Structure 1
Amino acid sequence: MASPPLEDGLPDRRILAAASLAGADRVYAMGGAQAIAALSLGTESVGRADVVVGPGNKYVASAKKQLFGEVGIDFVAGPTDVLVIADAAADPDLVAADLLAQAEHDPDARARALVPSRLFAQSVSSAVDRRLAVLSTAATARVSLDAGGVLLVYATIEEAVRTADRIAPEHLELHLADAGALAPAFRNFGSLFIGSRAAEAFGDYSAGINHTLPTSGSARFTGGLSVRHFLKTVTTLRGTEGSGYDAARDAAMRIARAEGLAAHEASAKARTSVTRPGTGQN
């Protein structure tokens, strides 16, 4: 694991405690693009990794993108984002609280909501202003909201579903009376928070679901970091005598001929004589 050092030269002790509980056997006091480079290529003191995963700032994301191929990665993460879908029964103050919880991450964070009416949008906006007035991270949150905060009124819940799937948010919150029934209609999201009690902050810290998720619309084609990123799929082939073997050989010959690859065709044709299974010998 790699984590940036503090003034004492070590990562935050709370990070070290979490790493110990998780069973980490090696911790490097480094961060940023230089940490990605060291792990990807190896140095005299840092072993070369096969896979590098986890979140970071835009420089970390750029380094992972440039070094993909030298090393496996989970995905290239952009600015964090949330999309809240609320209906008329939802609490505007809860919607505002969750938008601000996203906006305070950094100025590039994107906090957006789909709401049922202009009146509801005004209520959310007023709640955001009230909370900003007493929020210790208001400076960052305000820049984020000014740059990319959105309250969009939808005509029907079906329109809201279609819009959400086009946006493909990192975090999708359903502040809906029938959230459980509607949840299967959504396809593109990093993590889905079903019902107003399911705060994204729980997903970030304590509920046990993934916190490293696809951003910038990439939830259209990938999910979050998981065990599968540390697994690889491999294939094996064994040939045994029979009609299926003959059909596969003949098909390979025809396809090779069509592609103009004569050695491929010859390699397949050389298997025309009967061979002893598993030996490759006549």
Structure 2
Amino acid sequence: MTQTLAFRRFGPDHIDAAVRLSLAAGWPHRHEDWALLVSLGRGHVALHRDTVVATALATPMGDLAMANMIIVDATMRGRGLGRQIMERSLELLAPQEWRLTATELGLPLYRKLGFESWGTVHQHQAVLPTLTVLTAPAGVRLATAANLPAIAAMDLAATGADRAALLARLCANGRVAFAEGHGFAVLHEFGRGGMVGPVVAQDQAVAQDLLTFLLAGQAGRFVRVDAAQDAGEDSGLSDWLIEIGLPHVDTGIAMRRGTPTAPQGGFRRFGLVTQALG
């Protein structure tokens, strides 16, 4: 295998092959989802006889970075390829802290590379029913471009990540719920339909108001929310999502390596942009 295996920097010309690889792994990423990740970060592909058989990306976010899209073709597993390509991509950045969202399949590798669990991600998705039990939230409106600095500041306070460039892209193409001084949430296209994330708020009540605002009118459409739960936190939002018709379908493991980047406080991350972007 070593004679026919080559590593290359991930470029736009690899996206179509990466889409096929991720779909084969059961991941819903479209060409547009991969293109966003590639535009924000950097990484590698592994080629076996000119076919993409593995990917790994790294996305810088200020003092921290996300390792993501670590996929190895099923026919190539068990040969150390996942570690090889991930190590190459980790070498591309030198953040204070690395983060990733792990599947059970990837846990052994990530632990060997020094990552530790620090929370869970509860994936909720379904064709959304009519939200007849919810009332229209007060104090929530659609954001404008003028609100972007406040949105980036709340996000930084909640996550410790500088995601201003990512948020600008999401807000330009999505629908943003904004509660002045209290939180925000973004409905954007991802995978099989709509994705609500990030969801950043001072407390769970505000997070639910933001979600209610964005989900109103989405009945009959496929919607996904990845609820974040850091170690020691309750799972109230996950229970609420089940109550409104978005069942819990899977659980990811939030992991990190390095010196933790401390949030500034006052806000909490309730929902992820995607599992790749935290």
Superposition TM-score, scaled by structure 1 size: 0.26
Higher relative contact order (CA 8 A, sep 6+): 2
Larger strand fraction of residues: 2
Superposition TM-score, scaled by structure 2 size: 0.26
Larger gyration radius, structure 1 or structure 2: 1
